[in-house]
Amino acid sequence: MAERGGRARYPPRAGHYGLMSKEHFTVAGTLVDAWASVKSFKRKGKQQPPPDDPGNPTVDFRGEQRRNDTHESTTDHEGRLARKGNGKEAKLSFAQHALMENRNGLIVDVLVTQASGTAEREAALQMLDEHLPGTLPITLTADRGYHTRDFVAALRSRNVTPHIAMLEHQRPAIDGRTTRHPGYTISQRIRERVEEIFGWTKTVGLFRKTRFKGGQRTDFASRLVGAAYNLRRMANLLPVAT
């Protein structure tokens, strides 16, 4: 993988074979379980009594409100308590983000950050700036979680047309000038392909839970799994040499 700006840029030769789109992209995020148990999520600065069982201590969180600004994991202090949706169990997690090109569903970049309410949008802008720095007009597809006025404005300032899913019962950040085009509908259909990336990395790539402590190591492992996904995808796309 070629290096640019301290981060790996891949797929290494997908562009050479004409496999990558230069105009249409998708961004999405998911959660990866941290290498830490919620039992290690304790109040900052509070002296803890010795555990009854060092290997599997008994912990009672009844009546205690656990928050990322007041608690942290003693196993991996960079993990953050997060949940995948309403009604879902909160776990210590990292946020994993993927930037995908829309022609063949290849990964342009993956990035691991701390989980937060703004992590997906911040990571999307970082990946765009590192790999698609506004030299050509492009489209970026994303789900409803990216539908904010600030994010749409940031995309437009980067010469990026936002093909973002619309929020119901809320004043939209994009209007008919974008949504009336057939390309918007096509983008919304293709963006589902990014879930194939996360599905493969979490099952075949065994990245549902990181085996490393800390964001930097988890990010490096994520890029290795992403490279493996691209190699497998490219092998299916390229003709077999005879």
**pLDDT for the residue numbered 42:** 82
Q: Distance (Å, rounded) from C-alpha 52 to C-alpha 55?
A: 9
State the pTM of this model: 0.83
Residues near 233 by beta carbon (within 8 Å), at least 6 away in sequence: 104, 105, 106
Please measure the distance between the N-terminal and C-terminal CA atoms of the chain and give it in whole angstroms.
26
What pLDDT score does 179 carry? 86
Return all residues near 61 (Cβ < 8 A) that are at least 6 apart: none
Polymer length of the chain? 242
Residues 85, 138: Cα–Cα separation, whole Å: 30
Across the chain, which has 242 residues, the per-10-residue mean pLDDT values are 48 71 95 91 68 52 66 90 82 96 95 95 96 87 93 95 84 83 92 96 96 96 96 86 45
Query: Residue 69: what pLDDT?
Result: 75
pLDDT at 216: 96
Say how far apart CA 172 and CA 166 lie, in whole Å: 7
